Structure 1
Amino acid sequence: MNVLILGGSGFLGAAVAQACERAGADVRVLSRSGRAPAGEGLRGDVRMPRLGLSAADAARVRQETTHVVLCFGSVSWTSGPGEVLETHSSGMRSALAFLRELPALRQAVHVSSLLALGRAEGRVTNRELYTGQRFRNWYEYGKYCAERLARDADDLPVGIVRFGPVLGPDPRGGRPDTRHGLPVAFPHLLAGYPVHLARRGDFPCWVTDVSSAAEIVLKALGTPIGRATWSWFDPALPTLADVFTEVCRPWGVVPKIVEAGPLGRFTRLLGERLGTPRELVDYTEPWFDLDVDVLKEIPEPWPVPDPDYLAATGRALRDGTRRRALA
């Protein structure tokens, strides 16, 4: 298996690259930096024709690649429309055009997000993408656009794997990134600020650990997934309150989670002014009704999430903060 990973220098992409290398695959990682956490690094840009590769690299990649992972794109929930559409929409079109030039392509996997479902109404499964939903932010819409393009490319063997927030220690080493997504809340909670949540966060947030997510992508490549859609999340279904509590535990901090229900949106706006991070404000209520039986569509055996990955996230954040303070 000769795997090209587009966006393999990021948090999940790095874990996917390492999992593929452990499985014995030849791995190439394309990123704008050209650095690779495993295998060979290639400098390029998915937004450009021929992925921004040199002529020599493009010819070699075309000839040898058998499997591709599409794992690129901004992970910020507050990205603007320009960044989101250029990366997730234009980048996907460029990537799919390149896939059509690969004579030995056997399977491609697009790493999507469950947040592409936005504010979906009713119970959703792997079949649905557009349900008439509204989107909380441009990130959700960008992930929707990218998945839509991948689903519509019926001339290519592109399968879809959807994840919610992916947590755990950074496979690249160093301090976990708390600039984007759900981890934005961690420093606020650790500093003692309150977070306002409906039902005090007693609802699933569809998280998983980075190691099992990477193993699911590897399974999708090798099983293979075909043109199916899989959704993966921790089968234990930790709630949002569980996530915050466990991440804070290694710090000896009990997170201040305040009931947001009685005053609704006013409480959430007040919460933002008192410390609730902007990226979390629109996620203070249950996100959507996902049928948990979607897990059964993934062939067994399933990977087993690290039972301590939430606390391990907190420990990695604590240790990284200490190293930074001593530097």
Structure 2
Amino acid sequence: MSGMNDPGMNVLILGGSGFLGTAVAQACERGGATVRVLSRSGRTAVGEGVRGDVRMPRLGLSSADLARVREQTTHVVLCFGSVSWTSGPGEVLETHSSGMRSALAFLRELPALRQAVHISSLLALGRAKGRITNRELYTGQRFRNWYEYGKYCAERLVRDTPELPVGVVRFGPVLGPDPRGGRPDTRHGLPMAFPHLLAGYPVHLARRGDFPCWITDATSAAQIVLKALTTPIGRSTWTWFDPAMPTLGEVFTEVCRPWGVVPKIVEAGPLGRFTRLIGERVGAPKELTEYTEPWFDLDVNVLKEIPEPWPVPDPDYLGATGEALRGGTERRALV
């Protein structure tokens, strides 16, 4: 991969202690980069941990850390913010909007900065209208929750800073075993459905889930971020998902397979909203009811804008996700 084993690559990962952030840190370290991970705890499983807070001026760094980080950093990954679909407006705007403003202001102070990458989400498109490519962000869409709106605000801020070398990489749901060890987090996002399905409860989906959910695994997603840093991506926007394009129904089936469970996926037909309400009554996560129909019309040719060779997703990352649910300690996921 371009840029591998570059001894002059000094990467600062903001929010790198979470699920995807850890995978990105691992990929960068394997690529030969010096890795620093900023988090509020200052702890990291990869590289050097630095205590800070993206919501504060100059990331809340101590004087000693500020001098080192500012002088040495050549690449930055913006990978912070809660993945919770249930977050309220205060938490979302403080992190994704105010935090992004603080992070971008800090990037302006880095004399050696060569490339930064903002990890965005396809959910920033909300209920987008029309065919979506890498060019669109606002399409007159409505947002299902504050998380979607927060991701939209963060990407909007990045796009509005043309003087900075910040590219955008969009992902859908990212699955796979937790690179930090322990069980995958099932308290947020699409994984909220897993315990429900494993318990034998039904999920009501349009077309029985026969539509893509633009999913990928953490390992290939992290490799795409590294490629964006080293190619480099410049000011472009990339979108990455598993080229095999598993459907939502297939995702649920494969995650349940290691448990010997066949998920109960019920057709949400003409009475779709009524049947989804019934699903909530028997325990279906309420936050998932807005995602039971195709999410948007994404042009699959967006993948071709990423220079090849592409990473190859783990062929059984969905089954491995289900297997990982069997043991370990559940961890909170931040990206």
Q: Per the shorter chain, which TM-score range?
A: over 0.9
- Give me the whole-angstrom Cα distance separating, in 1, the residues matched to 2:101 and 2:53: 13
- Does residue 1:69 correspond to 2:77, yes or no? yes
- Does residue 1:59 correspond to 2:67, yes or no? yes
* Residue deviations 1:163-222 (CA, integer Å, cap 9, x gap): 000000000001111010000000000001110100000000000000000000000000
Q: CA offset at residue 121 of structure 1? A: 1.1
- Give me the whole-angstrom Cα distance separating, in 1, the residues matched to 2:275 and 2:63: 56
TM-score (norm 1): 0.97
Match of 2:15 among 2, 7, 10: 7
- Give me the whole-angstrom Cα distance separating, in 2, the residues matched to 1:321 and 1:171: 13
RMSD over equivalenced CA pairs, Å: 1.0
Structure 2: runs of 5 or more not aligned: 1-8, 331-335
| Residues 103-142 of structure 1 mapped to structure 2, 5 A cutoff | 103-142=111-150
- Does residue 1:268 correspond to 2:297, yes or no? no
- Give me the whole-angstrom Cα distance separating, in 2, the residues matched to 1:216 and 1:5: 15
Query: Which amino acid in structure 2 is aligned with residue 266 of structure 1?
Result: F
Q: What's the counterpart of residue 205 of structure 1?
A: 213
Q: What's the counterpart of residue 168 of structure 1?
A: 176
Q: CA offset at residue 273 of structure 1? A: 1.4
Secondary structure at 2:235 match in 1: coil
Q: What's the counterpart of residue 163 of structure 2?
A: 155
| Residues 1-327 of structure 1 mapped to structure 2, 5 A cutoff | 1-320=9-328
Secondary structure at 1:253 match in 2: coil
- Give me the whole-angstrom Cα distance separating, in 2, the residues matched to 1:51 and 1:266: 47
* Residue deviations 1:67-114 (CA, integer Å, cap 9, x gap): 000000010111110110000000000000000000000000000000
* Residue deviations 1:266-315 (CA, integer Å, cap 9, x gap): 22122111222112110000000000000000000000000000000000
Q: Is the 8 A contact 2:168 2:235 kept in 1?
A: yes
- Give me the whole-angstrom Cα distance separating, in 2, the residues matched to 1:224 and 1:321: 37
- Give me the whole-angstrom Cα distance separating, in 1, the residues matched to 2:140 and 2:44: 39
- Give me the whole-angstrom Cα distance separating, in 1, the residues matched to 2:198 and 2:329: 12
- Give me the whole-angstrom Cα distance separating, in 1, the residues matched to 2:303 and 2:283: 35
Q: Is the 8 A contact 2:182 2:329 kept in 1?
A: no
Structure 1: runs of 5 or more not aligned: 323-327
- Give me the whole-angstrom Cα distance separating, in 1, the residues matched to 2:301 and 2:67: 43
Q: CA offset at residue 320 of structure 1? A: 2.9
- Give me the whole-angstrom Cα distance separating, in 2, the residues matched to 1:320 and 1:289: 37
Q: Is the 8 A contact 2:17 2:45 kept in 1?
A: yes
Secondary structure at 2:328 match in 1: helix
Taking only the aligned residue pairs, the percentage that are identical comes to 87
| Higher RCO, 1 vs 2 (CA within 8 Å, ≥6 residues apart) | 2
- Greater helix share, 1 or 2? 1
Q: Is the 8 A contact 2:84 2:188 kept in 1?
A: yes
- Give me the whole-angstrom Cα distance separating, in 2, the residues matched to 1:277 and 1:37: 32
Instruction: State the aligned residue count.
Output: 322
Q: Is the 8 A contact 1:169 1:176 kept in 2?
A: yes
Query: Which amino acid in structure 2 is aligned with residue 272 of structure 1?
Result: E
Q: CA offset at residue 321 of structure 1? A: 7.3
* Residue deviations 1:214-236 (CA, integer Å, cap 9, x gap): 00000000000000000000000
Query: Which amino acid in structure 2 is aligned with residue 268 of structure 1?
Result: R
Give the 4+ runs in structure 1 shifted more than 6 A. Answer: none
- Give me the whole-angstrom Cα distance separating, in 2, the residues matched to 1:36 and 1:101: 24
Q: What's the counterpart of residue 325 of structure 1?
A: none
Q: Is the 8 A contact 1:195 1:275 kept in 2?
A: no
- Give me the whole-angstrom Cα distance separating, in 2, the residues matched to 1:151 and 1:19: 26
